[in-house]
Chain A
Amino acid sequence: MLTLKNITKRFGDRTIIDQLDLTVKDGEVLSIVGPSGAGKTTLLRCITGLEKVDEGEFLIDGQPFDPYTNRTNESVIGVVFQNFQLFPHLTVLQNITLAPTMVLKESEADAQANAQKLLERLDLGDHGDQYPYQLSGGQQQRVAIARALAMKPNVLCYDEPTSALDPNLRQEVEKLILGLKADGMTQIVVSHDLTFAENIADDMLRVEPNQSK
């Protein structure tokens, strides 16, 4: 379970997130929705440790942790970026095994076997030796998911998972997220697409642009 207590984030004198409390239960999908500029992505960047919060604390299963400085091998937050950010010079398999071998110190063989399992789970079993540029957008997204899952995260976060894809792939993404949910994955999804967000969510967080200065 991921808990946010009193999270506040400011850029200069603009308060983007104001004393937010939030709980994401294990195995659930939380959708964060709201108009552009409301701070959805900023919130996700705070949760994933890409931005430092000004106030408040994060708890995973009741244990405090700071995503911004967290370097331990537990309490991992995985991220699937809007434009995936695969490493273009590495094969699909290398993209997935890089962090497990270098950070988790898994053996090359273990990491490869695990990556292959993830790829097959995501219908990419034959694509391990290809490079990202050889894949479609939807395939690239699934590689990004596999890469994040290989680090065995407690929570998997998505930033606008439908925006870089063909509109008719939306249902595919829904299926994918619900499939991972069935496997027990806790997920946070930022989206401006309300229908999509409602279809996948157990819980919704609506963020509005903060008017208070």
Chain B
Amino acid sequence: MHYILEILPSLLSGAGLTLQVFLWTLVGSLPLGLILSLGLISNIKPLQWLINFYVWLMRGTPLLLQLIVVFYGFPLIGIVFPRYEAALFAFILNYAAYFAEIFRGGLQSIDNGQYESARVLRLSYAQTIRKIVIPQVVKIVLPSVGNEVINLIKDSSLVYVIGLGDLLRAGNVATARDVTLIPLLLVGVIYLVLTAVTTFVLGRVEKHYSYWK
């Protein structure tokens, strides 16, 4: 018990970084994914090709590799990110690709009649997307987005590769130093708490949207 209290501050500070990466990635990748998905359903072919290529690249290579490329590779062509910014950059680009595909599916499931209905009421395209389409898409994609959100909590542990001190790294350091597995067990418990809280919040959000069918 005494040992746990001794290492807890360093684990919690690592959890703080994990949460920061988690939150900023969501803040960046959800809107970006939405914009990309609108491009995917647009009629502009070159735009579609470009975004499809981007999605293929991001989903087709490991996130770990993308992190390494951004932090160690980009400086070779003159683009230098600090560690934390490099991590956010890679995570946002990667998750936006997944979200773009999820949103595309949601957008395509909206009946064309809804667009026509909005059109004869003379709503503009922007008004239709904002007031009619997005509220319906949000409800449809929530379970899939929730899946990715949970994944993100755990994926954030990949930042160790560019030397950031997240939760898993804090546990690793303590385990190596004190030759005991207790820190890693604690790390597992903290991840479980984080995902439990996220699951709860996602459940509440889904419940909030259950007022219509």
Which positions in A face B, CB cutoff 8 Å? 48-50, 71, 76-79, 81, 83, 85-89, 98-99, 102-103, 131-133, 147-148, 151
Give the residues in chain A near B119, CB-CB below 8 Å.
Answer: 49-50
User: Of residues B117, B123, B135, which shows the largest number of chain A Cβ atoms within 10 Å of its Cβ?
Assistant: B117
Give the residues in chain A near B123, CB-CB below 8 Å.
Answer: 98-99, 102-103
Give the residues in chain B near A71, CB-CB below 8 Å.
Answer: 122
Chain B: number of interface residues, binned into ranges: 10 to 19
Tell me whether B3 is interfacial, beta carbon within 8 Å.
Answer: no
Are A87 and B122 in contact, CB atoms less than 8 angstroms apart? no
Instruction: Identify whether the interface residues of B are mostly helix, strand, loop, or mixed.
Output: helix
A81–chain B nearest beta-carbon distance, Å: 6
Docked pose: A48 CA to B121 CA in angstroms: 10
Docked pose: A79 CA to B212 CA in angstroms: 24
Give the residues in chain A near B111, CB-CB below 8 Å.
Answer: 85
Docked pose: A133 CA to B211 CA in angstroms: 10
Q: Which residue of B lies closest to A144 (CB)?
A: B117
Q: Give the tally of cross-chain contacts (CB within 8 A).
A: 56
Per-residue interface assignment for chain B, residues 195 to 213, with 1 indicating a CB less than 8 Å from any chain A CB and 0 otherwise: 0000000000000000111
Q: Which residue of A lies closest to B120 (CB)?
A: A79
Which positions in B face A, CB cutoff 8 Å? 111, 113-114, 116-117, 119-123, 127, 131-132, 135-136, 139, 211-213
Are A85 and B113 in contact, CB atoms less than 8 angstroms apart? yes
Are A87 and B120 in contact, CB atoms less than 8 angstroms apart? no
A86–chain B nearest beta-carbon distance, Å: 8
Docked pose: A79 CA to B116 CA in angstroms: 10
Q: List 8 A-B contacts (CB under 8 A).
A: A50-B120, A79-B117, A79-B120, A81-B116, A89-B135, A103-B121, A131-B211, A147-B121
Docked pose: A160 CA to B127 CA in angstroms: 28
Are A99 and B122 in contact, CB atoms less than 8 angstroms apart? yes
Are A81 and B117 in contact, CB atoms less than 8 angstroms apart? yes
Contacts A87-B114, A102-B131 hold; do A48 and B120 have CB atoms under 8 A apart? Answer: yes
Which residue of B116, B121, B135 is within 8 Å of A50 (Cβ)? B116
Contacts A81-B116, A85-B116, A102-B127 hold; do A133 and B213 have CB atoms under 8 A apart? Answer: yes
User: What are the nearest 9 A-B pairs in CB distance?
Assistant: A99-B121, A85-B117, A85-B113, A133-B213, A79-B120, A131-B212, A89-B135, A103-B122, A89-B212
Q: Which residue of A lies closest to B209 (CB)?
A: A89
Give the residues in chain B near A48, CB-CB below 8 Å.
Answer: 120
Give the residues in chain A near B120, CB-CB below 8 Å.
Answer: 48-50, 77-79, 148
Q: Which residue of A lies closest to B135 (CB)?
A: A89
